[in-house]
Structure 1
Amino acid sequence: MFFRCLAVDKQTKARYGELRFLNHRIPTPVFMPVGTQGTVKTLTPQQLKETDTKIILCNAYHLCLRPGEKIIKQSGGIHKFMGWDGAIITDSGGYQVFSLSGLTKISDNGVEFQSPIDGTRFFLTPENMMQIQKDIGADIIMPFDECVPYPCEKDRASVAVKRTTEWAERCLNMHTNRQQILFGIVQGSVFKELRIECARSLVEMNFEGYSIGGLSVGEGSVLMNEVLDYTVDYLPEDRPRYLMGVGFPVDILNAVERGIDMFDCVVPTRNGRNGCAFTSMGRVKILNSQYKEDSSPLDQMCNCYTCCNFSRAYLRHLFLAHEILGLTLLSLHNICFFQNLMQQIRESIKNGDFKNFKNEFLSRQSD
């Protein structure tokens, strides 16, 4: 059994469950740190383990550009290549194609673009992206999809939905490695009719899980929550639901409330590298002068390595001195904070108290 739902909150759609595949057992809702190029920036695999991280996200698009999927395959696959024995999910690159807007040529056959690294010309199709992910050896993989910007005209979003569903079927036909789990990706921008159309088409194809893509691209939290409200209703209850590229704690809580099981985002590590820590009382910008002589830990309620051993004053010093250790310690704390949040979310769902937990958590956030 790949996914099973173990408890549902009585007041919301929040659910507690478990992903089981190969030798992995991953409780949900789950947060997956982003290791785009085979590394979660500034952190070692051992440090990630100590945060109770069980699954990370890598990006097949970036890995095929550098070092190349052939090198990863020759090294025994992505787990061995990067020294990580936890689970790995790979994104196929639809969002990266979107971010290269103006530098790509998109057709029904695939996407032509020039490598931003060395100028090499690439033509990616649903079929070769599936082969790339097979060679990389991730546990959960994504079909090639087309992500549109926000705002976007409905006609343009409709073309992307049609292309996304056609590419999804082509990817499904290429899915020969049954040790890998293939998700479908629901697109459709903020148009209800298109989201429902895409979801229904993908469900008919019977994917093992369903991702919701094309959000957190500028539409704002209100519209994102509206999209989730009606999209989740068209996804099977016995399959995991993955909201791609989200997000901040408030966005995660709002999405869990709407029945989402899986999340990935660069927020904790990117903020950590820029001197911003997430804490139980809100965000701390460590470069602020008020922390110059502050001997307290980042978060009195956190027992991570950073909080147990270093003061805010020392962390501020590291950033002012441009010491790499500062980036590592704040990134480590932030990942711990996110994983602790997910653990608390799961417990609140099991106890039938998610709504109260969410409200209490947000009431403590000073920002």
Structure 2
Amino acid sequence: MNHRRQDAGQQVLAGASVGRETLLPESWLDAVELDAASYNLRKSEADQLLKQGIEHQQHHQDQQAMTFLKQAQALYWELNDIVGQERTLGALGLSCYNLGDYPMSIDYSRRSLNLAQQIENYLSTVKVLGTLGNAYRHLEDYQQSIDFQEQSLETARQLHDRRGEMAALNNLGLAYKAAGEHQQAIFYEEQALEIAQELQEVNIEAQILKNLGNAHYAMGNHQQAIGYYQERLALARRLGDRRLEGQVLKNLGTACYSMGDYDLAIQYNQERMNLAKSLKDYPAEEQALRSLAVFYEGIGQFTKALDCYEQRLVVTQALQDPRLQKQALEDLKRTCYQLGDFFRANQYAQRMGA
């Protein structure tokens, strides 16, 4: 009887023991599943914030991008997600660069670089090194800029990353041009141009053609500069990018004037002015009219210069820019004196004082 009670008691204890053994793991598994679900939810939220930040960045809305990216970074840090942190810090560095906050861009980019190297994300390393180099260029620390761009170039070549290589070569060209080493700038930009054409990256090709034209112009090689600008003009027209076309016409006008081809300089600026009018781009129209007037003055055609200055005054009034209006009146007064029209010169002088 006692033996049976003991067996029964053991069975009860065994049952209780089994109950405890099955209860605790189920509770623990529920907690783990809850934590995993919570983690995945937070991770998904961070990923979405990062995506939104990058979308704003791509639409040149960097202030809005910063808001989303900072929230994403806080979540990734909380989750100890190093990959997410690295990506977000890199994006923050780029947005700060786009906003002109170069010290903060460097801070974010250095932190991103450390993580990228830690997790061996070399494609990201190429981009972040480029951002660092560009930020240091704007801070006029050209040696630092060149050092970072050379590291970016070396890493891109090791990875056979042609786009990264193209960007690094272009950035090196910009750094050397900013440092006043134009021949070295041309050396790198020409290599970047070859890759852009190989990859059919027409928008980047247009930028590089501009950089090459500017570098040659800075060296006084006006004919070579014009050649690159004309290539860029043809590209702009092929793309149907009318604003880009206007920018190139400006470059061509200036380069032609500098080498003494005044007729061609006037022709390019006349085209630029007509284009600006058709686009209702008043700032570009104002600049084109001023350039035309200066070019006409340069060849002694003061009556035509006066006509351009008068049109320019009308545009400055449409822009409601008092500073530009005063400049236009000053130019009109001076040109009237050159023509011997002292009465009108005095009228413009009185309007300046009004």
Higher strand proportion (structure 1 or 2): 1
Q: Shared fold by TM > 0.5?
A: no
Kindly indicate whether structure 1 or structure 2 has the higher relative contact order, using CA contacts under 8 Å at least 6 residues apart: 1
Larger radius of gyration: 2
Higher helix proportion (structure 1 or 2): 2
